[in-house]
Structures are given as C-alpha cells and as structure tokens.
Structure 1
Amino acid sequence: MNKTALITGASSGFGLLTSITLAQRGWHVLATMRDPNRRENLESAARDAALQDRIEIHQLDVTDADQIAQTTALIASRAQPLHALINNAGFAVPGFAEEVSDAELRDQFNTNFFGATALTRAILPQMRRQRFGHVVMVSSISGRTGFPGVSSYVASKFALEGWTETLRYEMAPLGIKVSIVEPGSFATDIWTRNAKLSAAMSDPDSPNAARLARWQARVQASAKARANPQQVADLIARILETPAPKLRYVIGTDARTALLMRNILPQRLFERLLIKLSGLSD
C-alpha cells in the first residue's frame, strides 16, 4: 500500500517540489493550497512527470477553521491511513521590529504558527488512532537565530520550534514521529511573491528609510547565491523514510554557517558581524 502524505502550501516552492518528489517515490500526496487558482504550476509539474494519479489537489487555508475541519473529515473518511503531515505553508513580513504593526505581526503568526499548530492538532487524533504517523514542520534557520529586518518571521518560527519540540516529546510514546526542517536561503518566492511587506517599508518618512535601502540592497544581492530548493524536498523525503528521524535538520551552507558562528563566536562579535552583513551599520 502506498503511503499518504498531506502537504500544505503546495502551490510553489518547497511544497510543490516536495509533492512531486514524494509522488515520484511512490507516495500518494494530498497537496493543499490556500488559493486553488495557483494550482497550474503543480498540475503542470505532475503532468510532466506522469504523476497525476498520485497527487490530489485540495483547497486549504490553514487560518480557516472550517477548511481545516473539512480536510480532517476528508482524511478520516478514507480507508487509507495518513502517514505524514508536512506543514509547509507560510510567508514572511519583512520590516524592522519597531515599525511592524500589531495587525501585521498577528497576520504573520496566524499562518506561520497558529495555522500550523491548528492543523496539526486536528490531524493528531487520526494518528493516535493509527498509532503511527510523522509530522514534519518546515521551519527556518530563522527559528534558531534572529536576523535583522525579519523580526516577525523570526518570532513566528521561534514559536513554532518550541511548540514542535515539546510535541515531539509528547507524541513519542504514542508512536508518532515529529521533526523540524530548518532551511537557510533557497530560491523560492517566500521573499518575493509570498512576502507581505510591512507598510512602513514603503514610507519615505520612516526613520529607517536609509537603513532599509541598504538592507534591501543586501537581500537582493544575495538572491543570486540562493541554493536549489529541490535539496529541501529531497531532505523531507529522506526524513519521512528514516526509521528513527532526528528532531532538527539544518540544510543550506548559509544556515549551517550561521549556526556554527553563533555557537563558537562571542556574542558581541557575532552581533557585530551580523549587523555588518545586513548593511545596517554602513
């Protein structure tokens, strides 16, 4: 029997690539996305790989309780068990911490944290009945260390990591596995199409206008060096096929380097280096 995986945020980036990768490995994939009008890229990739019969596309906005309930009911109604849940849906709110509004911060958390945890809690009763299952949270290296200009995104990922680590301890005795994937910078649209800029970022009267311009220039300059996101999809597939998976998986040269530097450098030196690289002190 083919294993079944539910993936959120499957219209692009890691979600799309993971859907295709798992289907190629024999999984049956329930690929979900907030906006079904953005299904064309996934459908095209599935056709090109002759995988249409292994990928189902469903609407799921993880901030919508009714849609979560519908998805849970769909899974419960099937004879096949659900082997894996990959929480990938997310976006970023670039902006300096002092200027991000309460509404923008809540919007960031609603998807990246509350949406992921709500869907997971809805799916867990199914996995408890099965006595098996694997929850994979797609986090970020930003869930382990802060970075200037993305405080809201960092905060949502820190929260997600703490919740998920605790969940792993609680689920282990029940036979349910829990893992976190922490990518660095990859060539997805999270910082372009899937970014919701803080309103202050377009305010010419912002006291951070000059620093913002330097920060944006650094971000744009680094875009060319972003790695192939297929690496993350391949990693997620390997994690799901590992009998005893780890809690955390860091992926990306920049992510591993940032974590190493944070661990070995004195905090003051690490801070100076990070500020310099971000363009804030020019």
Structure 2
Amino acid sequence: MFEGSRVWLITGSSSGFGFRLVILVLGRGDRVIATARSLDKLENLISSCKPDVRENLRTVQLDVTEGEEAIKDKVNKAAVIWGRIDVLVNNAGNGLPGIVEEGGSSQLRRQFETNFFGVMDVTSATLPHLRASPSACLVIIGSRSAWKTEIIGIGPYAASKAAVHALTETLTLELAPFDIRVLLVEPGAFMTEGIYGQPFFTSNPIPAYDDMRAASKARFASVPGTEKGDPNKAMQVVVDVVRGEGVAKGRPWPGYLVLGEDAENDVRTKCSKVLKVLDEWVDVARGVNFDNLSVNS
C-alpha cells in the first residue's frame, strides 16, 4: 500500500460532487489539481478551503470537450506541478434532458461529447502518469441512470452513462497489469447544485409527444431540492475507498461503488427484470445453437 500524500486530478471541480471531493481530499492531507471550464468558477472553491490546506491546491482551466491534443497538453503541464498524478477523478459531466426522437442524433452527440468522449480524452491524457505512480487509481463518476433508463426525457443522459460504464469495465481489465485500480461510482439522486440546470430540449417539437413532453418537463422541474442523498457523505466514501480508510478499511477493492438507496434499488430492480426474462426465455436462448451435426467451416 502506498504511503504518503497522493496527488489527485479532479475534473468538474467548481460545483457538485467535484467541489466537495476537493475539500474532502485536502482535509485528508492529499494534494489536488482542481479543474473546471473557467478559472473564475474555481474562486469559490479556493475561498472555501481552509487556509492551512490551500498550499496543497492548484487550479487548472480544463474543458473536457476541447479535444484530445489540448487536453493532453494541459494534463502534462498539470503533472509537472508536483511531479506526478496518482488519482484521476473523471467527474465533469452534464445532463441534457429531452425526448429521444425530438433531440435526434445531434442531441445525443452533444451529450456524448461531454459525458463519454470527455472522459475518454482526459483518461487517455492521464494514463501515462498513472502508470508511473506507485498508487494509481482511476475514478469515473457514472450514474444509476445507466440502470434506470426507463424515465421519459433521460434517454441521452442515460445512454451516455451506460456507455461510460461499459468503457470503465473494459479499462478495469486493460489497466490491471499496470496496477491501476479502477473505481466506477454509481450515485443516485444527490442534492448538488446545477445537476438539473440544463433546459429540457424543445427546439424540435413533434406534436405526437406534446403531452409526454409537458409531463416530463414538469417532472424534471420538480426534482431539485427533493433529493435524499448527501453529496458530502458520498464523496467521503469515495475518498475512503481510494485511501483504504474509514468504511473501506479492511475491505477488498470494490470496483463498483453504488451510492444511495435509490441507486441500490434501481440496480437490483434491473438485474431482477433481466434475470426474470432470461429465465422465461431460457429455452429460446439455448435453442439457437447448431444441431449435433458436423458443421463445415
């Protein structure tokens, strides 16, 4: 187990999970490179840090959608600050609510640009530094929405997070030979700022969806302020797992970290649903192999 202070690179640090994670990591004695699309948006983060830990915080302007080469250049410069990066937290993301057909592929591409390709570009830029670390860890903030996709209006977001989950699981295997631990965090609904800040897509209204769209817009507008999840507790758990402390002490590396009673319920519900259908159709699933005949290649 690695001893001493770690260096964390955290995207999307100006608010939400990222903001809280920076504060908590600094409180454990580690160092943080906090990034956001605008340095101005990080001023509140800096002022919120206790004076005795501010020397362990550096800020870097980083938009996860600005392209592979630009991101690689900024990450390489960030690594020079303390000579290494030990932990990468891909936290930056957004949600673009809307009816799938009305948004079409253009809305899906917008959603994937941030939530999927942004994660990939930052990860690719940081992996050379993680391979050089004695305690490397890649953390990716996913969502329970990859498990609970059956919500009207959440299609683009849920699709992007499902893709992120699949990517993370593959990375877990590909990075294992380098002793890079991978953690997929799957939070439910938490009371963070701006999580429902994006407007519902209405630029291409299809009359057939008028009632559905209106109901979905109203639902999304009613959610903020009703979330049961405490984001500080959630990020405290993430720090515990990465450092092997607190609730994670003495436990094996989880790989998956489902946070929130709603997220737990959604994962169990989806697994039960799929297994039920599989059991009902198991004869069909098993009945499509070649018969016991010699098959010529």
1:189 aligns with 2:193: yes
What corresponds to 1:274 in structure 2?
none
What corresponds to 2:269 in structure 1?
261
1:23 aligns with 2:63: no
Offset of residue 207 of structure 1: 2.9
- Alignment match of 1:176 (pick from 175, 180, 183): 180
Matches within 5 A, 1:19-98: 19-47=22-50, 50-65=52-67, 66-78=69-81, 80-98=83-101
Residue deviations 1:87-138, cap 9 Å, x none?
Answer: 0000011001111132221111111000111110111112223354100000
Please say if residues 147 and 270 of structure 2, whose CA atoms lie closer than 8 Å, have aligned partners that are also in contact.
no
- Residue aligned with 2:196, SS: coil
Which residue identity lines up with residue 55 of structure 1 in the other structure?
Answer: L
Q: Distance in 1 between matches of 2:173 and 2:30?
A: 27
Q: Distance in 1 between matches of 2:81 and 2:179?
A: 21
Residue deviations 1:22-81, cap 9 Å, x none?
Answer: 00111101000012221232123115x653212211100111134412322224435533
Which residue identity lines up with residue 193 of structure 2 in the other structure?
Answer: D
Larger displacement relative to structure 2 (159-168 or 207-216): 207-216
Q: Distance in 2 between matches of 1:121 and 1:131?
A: 18
Offset of residue 199 of structure 1: 3.5
Please say if residues 33 and 78 of structure 2, whose CA atoms lie closer than 8 Å, have aligned partners that are also in contact.
no
Which residue identity lines up with residue 242 of structure 2 in the other structure?
Answer: L
Q: Distance in 2 between matches of 1:77 and 1:123?
A: 12
Q: Identity rate of aligned residues, in percent?
A: 31
Please say if residues 132 and 174 of structure 1, whose CA atoms lie closer than 8 Å, have aligned partners that are also in contact.
no
Offset of residue 187 of structure 1: 1.2
Q: Distance in 1 between matches of 2:158 and 2:101?
A: 14
Matches within 5 A, 1:1-282: 1-47=4-50, 50-65=52-67, 66-78=69-81, 80-130=83-133, 132-146=135-149, 147-193=151-197, 195-200=198-203, 203=205, 206-226=207-227, 227-242=229-244, 244-265=252-273
Q: Distance in 2 between matches of 1:158 and 1:190?
A: 21
Which residue identity lines up with residue 149 of structure 1 in the other structure?
Answer: G
What corresponds to 2:282 in structure 1?
none
Which residue identity lines up with residue 217 of structure 1 in the other structure?
Answer: A
| Cα 1:107/1:28, change in 2 over 3 Å | same
Structure 1 runs not aligned, ≥5 long: 270-282
Q: Distance in 1 between matches of 2:78 and 2:130?
A: 11
TM-score, scaled relative to structure 2: 0.81
Offset of residue 265 of structure 1: 4.8
Which residue identity lines up with residue 163 of structure 2 in the other structure?
Answer: A
Aligned residues: 265
Please say if residues 92 and 196 of structure 1, whose CA atoms lie closer than 8 Å, have aligned partners that are also in contact.
no
TM-score, scaled relative to structure 1: 0.85
- Residue aligned with 2:103, SS: coil
What corresponds to 1:272 in structure 2?
none
Q: Output the aligned Cα RMSD.
A: 2.3
Which residue identity lines up with residue 235 of structure 2 in the other structure?
Answer: A
